[in-house]
Structure 1
Amino acid sequence: MSDDGTLRYHVDGDLVPAAEATVSVEDRGFAYGDAAFETLRAYGGDAFRWEAHADRLADTCETLGLDHGIDEADLKRRVDEALAANGLADAYVKLSITRGVQPGTLDPKPEVDPTVVVIAKPLPRGGVGGEPPHDGPAALQTTKTRKAADRAIPAAAKTHNYLNGILARLELRVTGADEALMLDPDGRVAEGATSNLFFADGTALKTPSLDGPILPGVTRATVIDIAESEGIPVEEGTYAPDAVREADEAFLTNSTWEIRPVATVDGIAVDGDGEGVAGPVTTLLSRLFDRRIEEAHYDGERL
């Protein structure tokens, strides 16, 4: 953080105190959710898998027809400056690009003066011997709210319009579950409101295919790469909800949680006793994921 203990956010090229960081009420990101974003983790002062996040951000902007004209190096510089200004080595980072202020009609105009915001907040590295970066093993609850069809809202696009996930999370108020298990329009397992899903049944590590309305998660891709490099069979397919409920173990992935074990699905234990003890595949992949971060960002000093 800055010398006075306040966070500073990066807004359109300027570092400003968090309490003073603003965008116009006419900004299309505020008015319509017309914006692209990425959530990243920083370890040791550098963004984890920056290139993958930058590529996905570019894909989202292409989906939105948002030609913001800012190159990748400039975006990375802003992220680095936000981390440095706050003295953060291990952090949560959110990078957003909106279409900016345009005349008050729904139609997006081709001329864009984008708003670019980088938020960086402390998020201690758990890892070897540390506390996990989540609130413990998750209780999953299948929701009535389903993922929108890709032809309606492309799941691969990370935009500020999060209504689908918000409605799913609202349902959890009744059960107190930690994450929504969302199904696709045909009733097959898709993903969490803010996470990708994996489960194991003794034959393979399974995860819903990107052919469905699934976000191509950066952590998801990393876990698949690690599993395949260890000779763990990985199957990407379509699954009924019962396949997850009957699994030997399951876990969720996203940039903030990394790998989060699942304790129950709809009240059914998937870890044997429902006490949240991670299964052997989850434990192994968590350790290997942690090792990859340590080697990439800390020179393996804590291994």
Structure 2
Amino acid sequence: MYICINGRVLKEEEAKISPFDHGFMYGLGVFETFRVYNGHPFLFDDHFDRLQSSLAALNIKLNVNKASVLHDINELLKVNQLKDAYVRLNVSAGDNAVGLTVEKYENPNVIIYMKPIGQPAQVEKNAVILQIRRNTPEGPLRLKSHHYLNNILAKREVGPDPSVEGIFLTDQGHVAEGIVSNVFWVKDGKVFTPSLSTGILNGITRQFIIELLAFLNIKVEVGHFTKEHLLDCDEAFVTNSIQEVVPVKKLEGKSLPGAAGEITDKLHSYYVIQRNRLWSRKNIQVSEVEVDK
């Protein structure tokens, strides 16, 4: 496969970065992962906006614009002969001397990874409550950063089975998020999802689903919820930009309707409609969605 480093397309085995990149040395870097559907990078504008915000928080200057990144993505699609792809857009701080610095990083490394992903296929998962607790963000908000130890330890806890997703609780016992997902559940026709104040990542798909729920006139409550509240659900699903809307068929051994869940199925159906054309959740048009009256 080919990847792109700072605008240069090259074979992945030829890719190199300096050992003095502070993304490598101190974890100063952020990334976005998203899918390309038939050549269209779904919700790219939202991903790019979040990337810019995250870099500003790390005092890293983004020296490329949206148009140039899209150009590089299209070049990679061509050279890799792909129409559907997994994309990771990664920005690390760039080279600097050994030691911490308070100066702005002016020359970051921008890397675009790509791999084939095939046609989307909805799968169901089993969800379990993790013993390890969700760590608190290292700043005011959780960034999609290079700091992944908490997630890795959680993945080791649940094991290699891709059909199992672990769900974090906070130290206070509130439901947080999945290892690689945001969590939603349904009770009596109302959707619940944890607040950002629990320390979770504000996932792009999470934001899209909350926006979509509003258009569908489905009530959603964002807040602090106990494990017992989650376990009392009628249906549940998890979301991320690669796996989309993932139905939960078992939660701590409790059987759930999974893909047959009424609200889960409805959200997935509308997701499928939007994924080949939408650039931002802000562009959902009422005319494109059959809003329940």
Gap regions ≥5 residues in structure 1 = 1-6, 298-303
The offset of 1:111, in angstroms, is 4.3
Q: How does 1:255-294 map to 2 (within 5 A)?
A: 255-271=241-257, 276-294=258-276
Please state whether the residue corresponding to 1:102 is helix, strand or coil: coil
Distance 1:296 1:38, change over 3 A: closer
Distance 1:80 1:102, change over 3 A: same
The offset of 1:169, in angstroms, is 1.3
Q: How does 1:12-91 map to 2 (within 5 A)?
A: 12-91=6-85
- Aligned partner of 2:92: which letter? T
The offset of 1:43, in angstroms, is 1.2
Q: Distance in 1 between matches of 2:175 and 2:168?
A: 6
Contact (CA 8 Å) 1:169, 1:193: kept in 2 or not?
Answer: yes
Q: Once the two structures are superposed, what CA deviation does each residue of 1:40-74 show, in whole Å capped at 9, x if it has no partner? A: 11112121111100110011101111123333322
Distance 1:85 1:176, change over 3 A: closer
Distance 1:104 1:124, change over 3 A: same
The offset of 1:212, in angstroms, is 2.3
Partner of 1:234: 220
Q: Report the number of matched residues.
A: 279
The offset of 1:107, in angstroms, is 3.2
Greater CA drift, 282-291 or 169-178: 169-178
Please state whether the residue corresponding to 2:18 is helix, strand or coil: coil
Partner of 2:116: 122
The offset of 1:296, in angstroms, is 4.4
Please state whether the residue corresponding to 1:107 is helix, strand or coil: coil
- Aligned partner of 2:128: which letter? Q
Distance 1:226 1:265, change over 3 A: same
Q: Distance in 2 between matches of 1:52 and 1:72?
A: 11
The offset of 1:204, in angstroms, is 0.5
Partner of residue 149 from structure 1, selected from 110, 124, 136 = 136
Contact (CA 8 Å) 1:204, 1:232: kept in 2 or not?
Answer: yes
Contact (CA 8 Å) 2:129, 2:167: kept in 1 or not?
Answer: yes
- Aligned partner of 1:64: which letter? L
| 1:186 and 2:172 aligned | yes
- Aligned partner of 1:281: which letter? I
Partner of residue 124 from structure 2, selected from 134, 137, 157 = 137
Please state whether the residue corresponding to 1:190 is helix, strand or coil: strand
Contact (CA 8 Å) 2:124, 2:163: kept in 1 or not?
Answer: no
Please state whether the residue corresponding to 2:180 is helix, strand or coil: coil
Distance 1:140 1:215, change over 3 A: same
Distance 1:55 1:240, change over 3 A: same
The offset of 1:144, in angstroms, is 2.4
The offset of 1:188, in angstroms, is 0.2
Please state whether the residue corresponding to 1:211 is helix, strand or coil: helix
Larger RCO: 1 or 2 (CA < 8 Å, sep 6+): 2
Q: Distance in 2 between matches of 1:53 and 1:256?
A: 13
The offset of 1:283, in angstroms, is 0.9
Q: Distance in 1 between matches of 2:119 and 2:214?
A: 25
Q: Once the two structures are superposed, what CA deviation does each residue of 1:10-42 show, in whole Å capped at 9, x if it has no partner? A: 012211112222222332222222111100111
Partner of 2:154: 168
The offset of 1:173, in angstroms, is 2.5
Contact (CA 8 Å) 1:100, 1:115: kept in 2 or not?
Answer: yes
TM-score norm. by structure 2 comes to: 0.88
Gap regions ≥5 residues in structure 2 = 280-293
Q: Distance in 2 between matches of 1:32 and 1:239?
A: 34
Q: Distance in 1 between matches of 2:260 and 2:206?
A: 18
TM-score norm. by structure 1 comes to: 0.85
Identity %: 32
